[in-house]
A and B are shown apart, each in its own frame.
Chain A
Amino acid sequence: MAKFVLKRLLGSAVMLFLLITISFFMIKLIPGSPFTSEKMQAGSKQAIYAYYGLDKPVYEQYFLYLKNLLRGDLGVSYKIRSVTVNEVIAKSFPYSLDLGLKAIIVAIVGGLALGIISAYKRGKAIDAFTMILATIGVAVPSFVVGFFIQYLFAVKLRWLPVAQYTSFAHTILPTFALSLSMLATIAKYSRASMIEVIYSDFVKTADAKGLSKMRIIMRHQLRNALLPIVTLLGPMIAMVITGTFVVENVFAIPGLGRYYVTSITNLDYTMIMGLTIFFALFLVIMNLLVDVVYILIDPRIKLS
């Protein structure tokens, strides 16, 4: 297991390195400079360029960047005065983390509940509801969902606050908007998995042994049906990350996703780079954790 983790870490490090390199040089290719929109005299422009190290040749800038990275320094924002990327992350990541966690929990609990109940009550109303919700949840984009519920519940009905993230009530709409597509996916998959398990032979064997209903459901049906769902967690984390870009914008939440979007609009290169690297690192670590957990709980997997 330790060897597996090490190998994966090494592979991920290589991929991250490639990502950093590729994005660094791509950003350098962008026409114009981050300061073109600002009106300055020629002298001050030179001074600013020197300050940010933009007057050096590209390769030097690259190695300097890498050196700083290894120290954990993601650089300084070009657009927001005297603020480092690290500070921005530290300030806004907690919001995104809170939102993301809530969304994942809602998606898992809601999706599993709907999926499992629908599997047992096939053909009944709850099953139809789940299938419809699943189709809509997967197809309709998160910003549409976000705007709809924002308009309906916040603007028209005034039941919930429109935007920002200051109280618990504020978190309800964004969490729902972010979690819907994942909830739909989990519901669909867990329902299918559950149905397959209910009709499988080993459940019949368990029944033929005279076991109690509870035991058959818990030890044989649920465990086997839910195991494959764990594999969905990895992609879901990626979905949450991209989802926050949209949802935080819709609901004006000062999280990392929103900063990413504004940094793109403002062409704040270091911010874009820094946030991209941060997201990538986060994703890689999460995926590794999910894979390790899966290997631990499925006895059929051999690490040879």
Chain B
Amino acid sequence: MRQLEGELDFTLVGAREGEASQILRPHLSYFQDARTRFKANKVAMASLFVLLAFALMTIAGPLLVPYNYQDGDLLQANKGPDLQHWFGTDELGRDLWARIWIGGRVSMAIGVLAAVLQGVVGIIMGSVSGFVGGKTDLVIMKVVDFLMAFPYLVWVTLLMLVTGSGLVPMILALTLTGWLTMARIVRGQILTLKNEDYVVAAQSLGALSRRIILKHMIPNTMGVIIVTMTFAIPAAIFSEAFLSFIGIGMKAPMTSWGLLVSMGMKQLYNYPLRLLIPCICISLTMLSLQIIGDGLRDALDPKLRR
């Protein structure tokens, strides 16, 4: 053995970790931890920024120009982008900048509103199904299975044929057909949680059902609900675009991105911008929502928690 006495200090120090490790990690709640993780996701944060920018433009955009989305000045018709009309004008002389952003208001509003309403209906149906169980569960699930067996757009289309076009009928139709995914997911979560060991343990300790629901089930389900709703928004925006595209969605004089696409489509050769601008808006909005949804899902996944 080499003689290293000069370099070695043999004073007793003891275990450093015992007390220290408790203080090292501050107690982060589930949502605080998720928020930190989301913020660290640069791509998701960038998408959030893009989305907010779009939302801001739909509110502020039309106010920046003196033009109205409806009134057209035929003398100004079919102009390309210039200093007066930043996006140009359409064949009726209407300013496209104003139309794009007003249309954006409609599309985004429909997206958010439909997603939220679908979510609420889905949560209710799913919770009832999961909690009550038995025959109620069976019936509700059979209905869900039936509706899910056929493409969603077919149902929405049928409904809209009956209700007619317009903002309110569209939101109604989207809500009535779009709650299925949320219901299934919420029901699944509740069933899993009902059987989880810690719920059974809490029950055996005498905890009341209500307390169990509040303290255990809801926080655990909130994460999935938020993520599902985030993904539902672009789906609703797409449905609106599709319906307007085939002619049973929004109708003039109202405008939406979908309607702008459908009108711009006929002029792809001559005035491609009229088609491409609403397409870009739809794409970027849906893309950023998709990325945010993925980011939220990763941030809220308890398994990845440090």
Which of A's residues lie within 8 Å of B, judged by CB?
12, 15, 18-19, 22-23, 26-27, 29-31, 135-136, 138-141, 143-144, 147-148, 150-151, 155, 238, 241-242, 245-246, 249-250, 261, 264-265, 267, 272, 276, 279-280, 283-284, 287
Q: Complex formed: what's the CA distance from A265 to B246 in Å?
A: 7
| Contact in complex: B275, A136 (CB < 8 Å) | no
B290 within 8 Å of A (CB atoms): yes
| Contact in complex: A264, B150 (CB < 8 Å) | no
CB distance from B105 to the nearest CB of A (A): 19
CB within 8 Å of A: which B206-246 residues: 234, 238, 241-242, 245-246
- Could you name 19 residue pairs across A and B whose Cβ atoms are closer than 8 Å? A26-B158, A27-B161, A31-B164, A135-B294, A136-B287, A138-B290, A139-B290, A141-B238, A144-B279, A148-B276, A151-B268, A238-B151, A242-B153, A246-B242, A249-B246, A280-B154, A283-B149, A283-B151, A284-B149
| Contact in complex: B286, A141 (CB < 8 Å) | yes
**In the complex with contacts A135-B290, A151-B268, A155-B268, A143-B161 CB distance below 8 A:** no
Interface contacts (Cβ under 8 Å), in number, total 103
* Chain B residues closer than 8 Å to A143, beta-carbon distance: 241-242, 245, 261, 279
CB within 8 Å of A: which B262-304 residues: 265, 268-269, 272, 275-276, 279, 282-283, 286-287, 289-291, 294
| Contact in complex: A23, B158 (CB < 8 Å) | yes
Interface SS of A by simple majority: helix
B248 within 8 Å of A (CB atoms): yes
| Contact in complex: A265, B151 (CB < 8 Å) | no
* Chain A residues closer than 8 Å to B153, beta-carbon distance: 242, 245
Given A23-B158, A135-B291, A147-B276, list of 7 further CB < 8 A pairs? A148-B276, A151-B275, A242-B151, A245-B242, A250-B265, A276-B154, A280-B154
Interface SS of B by simple majority: helix
CB distance from B154 to the nearest CB of A (A): 6
* Chain A residues closer than 8 Å to B247, beta-carbon distance: 261, 264-265
B10 within 8 Å of A (CB atoms): no
**In the complex with contacts A140-B286, A264-B247, A147-B265 CB distance below 8 A:** yes
| Contact in complex: A148, B150 (CB < 8 Å) | no
